[in-house]
Amino acid sequence: MTSRFAQGGFEDRFRVTRVDGKPIRPEARYLVLDYSGADPHALVAIEAYAASVDEENHHLAMDLLTAIQHPEAFPAQHD
């Protein structure tokens, strides 16, 4: 079976809902990445984001790096 990241284009496959009930800005756009290890490119993207945000939010950067190293330690974010 070919992994999903290896075929097709950028398409509408997911819907984002905030769990805190706050509204989502109409102009907001989201990109969903599976960091369980199925998509190695997702891991690279998350590592890059963590490096980029580290100076402004070190806690977030460390949480992201921990999440990709130990995905089982974080809750599933799907139904």
What is the tens place of the pLDDT at every residue in 3-43?
777 888 888 888 889 999 999 999 999 999 998 888 899 99
Structural domains in the chain (count): 1
Q: Looking at the domain assignment, is residue 29 inside a domain?
A: yes
Contact 43, 36 (CB under 8 A): no
Q: Looking at the domain assignment, is residue 78 inside a domain?
A: no
What is the tens place of the pLDDT at every residue in 40-69?
999 999 999 999 999 999 999 999 999 999
- DSSP annotation string for 31-59: ----TTTT-HHHHHHHHHHHHHHTTT-HH
Q: Looking at the domain assignment, is residue 50 inside a domain?
A: yes
Is a pLDDT exceeding 70 seen at residue 2? no
Write out the H or E segment, with its range, that includes residue 66: helix 58-69
pTM summary value? 0.82
Q: Looking at the domain assignment, is residue 17 inside a domain?
A: yes
Q: Name the residue range of residue 26's domain.
A: 4-73
Q: Looking at the domain assignment, is residue 79 inside a domain?
A: no
Q: What share of the chain is helix, strand, coil (3-state, %, to 5)?
A: 40, 0, 60
